Amino acid sequence: MTTILASDFWSSIMPNVVENKDVFIQSTWETIYMTLVSGLVAGILGMLIGVVLVVTAPGGILENKPTYWILDKLVNIFRSIPFIILLAVIAPFTRLVVGTSIGTTAALVPLTIGCAPFYARQVQNALVDVDRGIIEAAQAVGASPLQIIFRVYLREALPDLIRTSVVTIISLIGLTAMAGAIGGGGLGNTAISIGYNRFENDITIMAMIIILAIVFVVQVLGDLWARRTDHR
Amino acid sequence: MAEATSPIIELKDIDVTFKEADRTVKAVKDVNLQVNKGDIYGIVGYSGAGKSTLVRVINQLQRQSKGTVTVSGQNLGNLSGKNLRQARTKIGMIFQHFNLMNERTIGDNVLFPLLLGSKLTRKEKQAKVDELLDLVGLADKKNDYPAQLSGGQKQRVAIARALANDPEILISDEATSALDPKTTGAILELLKHLNETLGLTVVLITHEMQAVKAICNKVAVMQSGEIIERGDLLTIFSNPTEQLTKEFIETSSQIDSALANVVEQATVQNLGAGEQLVVLSYAGDSTEAPLIAQLYEKFHVTPNILFGNVEILQNTPVGTLGLVLSGVGDAVETALAYVAQQGVHVRRINVAEYRAELARKAAANNEEATV
């Protein structure tokens, strides 16, 4: 038992991982940082766009065809751009926002822009599923549009919003793996630039295992929370 | 029931038109409607007749394309934003599918209208919720979620929610249509109770004449967006003029099935000269006159009773009687003229024609079923 936990055991099966321990700590932190910050910003942005899409849609509580049409098309366009291309294409914009187009912080901008439209669609789908009749009942007792958004739509869709947030965060973790292309670092970068390029397979595998572990934790926590809030 | 005063709801020349891509649909056409304080006003019609659209005009969930809506003396068509929402708090509404918020407890569903701008304190709001749940008989369900309740209980919660702002009017949009007959009865009972104790004015939309019969004092019949017949319940029931109204009344009584049975009997099919199959219907006072006895005494007409039915509508008996009358010469016709003079509605049935009509309807139904 003690031999399994001994460091020379790990050195024997994953020699490069042990040697690059600091790199792993650094890149894991980068992945978490990119996921958290861009997830938070994209979450707020996506939630806003999703809500606006629902209320301005035909038959919505604040129906507005031009707004809906423009947002809808924008979301479609940004969702269609492959992320690896988006990283490069928006570099000037990135420089404008964070002052640099290289590095972990620079990766936040494309990550946010890549993720927000995806999340907006997810939010839209969750809110559209709130029964039209419930909205009508709220209007009938004199609720204002803002009250309907906050006290009915977001409240009634909460379990679905949690589930779609989990899906979004997991896909965002996937996107962070590409951030290495613009020097963003992270576990994906470690797997490719060290593990793959130097034929150090144990590094690639370890990077994958850590990402899987993060995804697993997010999924389990999200499911638990969603189940607790769901009373349907 | 309150005596007729000024109308609490007045709809004037209401049109509602929906524009679709390739056509415009007139859902409501030139409707005028007055509902007095304390009325339980039934609006019946098949689905698609425009009933739901019409009542949504009352609280302006649906804006009219033309006409004016006055509720408690206020012209709602001129209101928007905050003022309209304020006006809506005085008009409660309940729905076929209850429309409760699934993620809130029963107590919080009832509390919801009070969260929107009520000046009550937290404590007063909770007291109000308790009082309302008590009123609808669900005090013990406060912390449950809607998913744990039966349909009838959900509708009771919806009623409590609709009453949270102390409205003067309650709109019921097919509120009993998703419920079983027993639960339907209980919910209607509750609406009647609220009408009597709170003076609540109720507008009840339904496709079930049974519901109208149970609690309404007035009724309007809608077809293709128009009100084709209206009046107080007794008049409409004892003396319907429109074909659709008759159909609705028939669906709520056993008369037609009884009649269908009777005309299959050989003795009825072979009526002789001076014999006539009739259905007499009468309401209120005329039921007290010894009419059947008079038929023989005055006209020597012998009544043979085939079936009969008495219902109590708004505390007034409404009776229907199926008879074969036989007499010498014109005796039957003279007798029927007298009967009609007494305020009894006379429907002469030509047995052969009636059977042909039944056969035609059955054929039409079969065709519909196979399509």
What SS3 class is residue B276? strand
Specify whether the CB–CB gap between A222 and A165 falls below 8 A.
Answer: yes
| CB contact B178 to A (< 8 Å) | no
Same domain, B212 and B316: no
Same domain, B52 and B119: yes
At residue B2, the pLDDT reads 44
| A142·B102 Cβ contact <8 A | no
Same domain, B44 and B135: yes
Same domain, B264 and B225: no
- Residue range B191-209, pLDDT digits in tens: 999 999 999 999 999 998 8
Average pLDDT over residues A178-194: 87
Evaluate whether residue B247 is within a structural domain: no
Provide the residue range defining the domain that includes B174.
7-240
What SS3 class is residue A121? helix
| B161·A141 Cβ contact <8 A | yes
Stretch (H or E) spanning A161: helix A158-176
Same domain, B301 and B365: yes
Average pLDDT over residues B350-361: 85
Mean pLDDT over all residues of chain A?
91
At residue A3, the pLDDT reads 54
At residue B5, the pLDDT reads 59
Where do the structural domains in chain A lie, given as residue ranges?
18-229
User: What is the identity of the amino acid at A141?
Assistant: V
At residue B263, the pLDDT reads 85
- Residue range B98-131, pLDDT digits in tens: 999 999 999 999 999 999 988 899 999 999 999 9
What SS3 class is residue B174? coil
pLDDT confidence of B288, banded at 50, 70, 90? low
| A142·B92 Cβ contact <8 A | no
| B103·A136 Cβ contact <8 A | no
| Residues in chain B within 8 Å Cβ distance of A159 | 103
Q: Which residues contact A164 (CB under 8 A, 6 or more apart)?
A: A119, A122, A123, A125, A126
The yes-or-no verdict on residue A80 having pLDDT over 70 is yes
Evaluate whether residue B2 is within a structural domain: no
Same domain, B215 and B264: no
| CB contact A21 to B (< 8 Å) | no
Same domain, B92 and B224: yes
| A144·B82 Cβ contact <8 A | yes
Q: What is the CATH number of the domain that holds B274?
A: 3.30.70.260
What SS3 class is residue B176? coil
CA dihedral (B25, B31, B35, B41) in degrees, to 10, reads -60
3-state secondary structure B35-80: EECCCEEEEECCCCCCHHHHHHHHCCCCCCCEEEEEECCEEHHHCC
What tokens appear for A90 in the block?
A: 């928006």
CATH 1.10.600.10 for the A18-229 domain, yes or no: no
| Residues in chain A within 8 Å Cβ distance of B117 | 142
Domain boundary, last residue among B240, B266, B283: B240
Same domain, B300 and B212: no
Average pLDDT over residues B257-284: 84
Chain B residue with minimum CA distance to A154: B103
- Residue range A84-124, pLDDT digits in tens: 999 889 999 999 999 988 889 999 999 999 999 999 999 99
Domain total for chain B? 2
| CB contact B354 to A (< 8 Å) | no
Chain A residue with minimum CA distance to B160: A141
Q: What is the CATH number of the domain that holds B138?
A: 3.40.50.300
Evaluate whether residue B246 is within a structural domain: no
Same domain, B145 and B283: no
Same domain, B219 and B268: no
- Residue range A123-174, pLDDT digits in tens: 999 999 999 999 999 999 999 999 999 999 999 999 999 999 999 999 999 9
The ipTM assigned to this model is 0.84
Of A147, A156, A229, the CB nearest to B101: A156
Same domain, B130 and B235: yes
Chain A residue with minimum CA distance to B165: A141
Same domain, B77 and B32: yes
| Residues in chain B within 8 Å Cβ distance of A144 | 82, 85, 116
Within 144-203 of A, beta carbons closer than 8 Å to B belong to: 144, 147, 151-152, 155-156, 158-159
pLDDT confidence of B355, banded at 50, 70, 90? confident
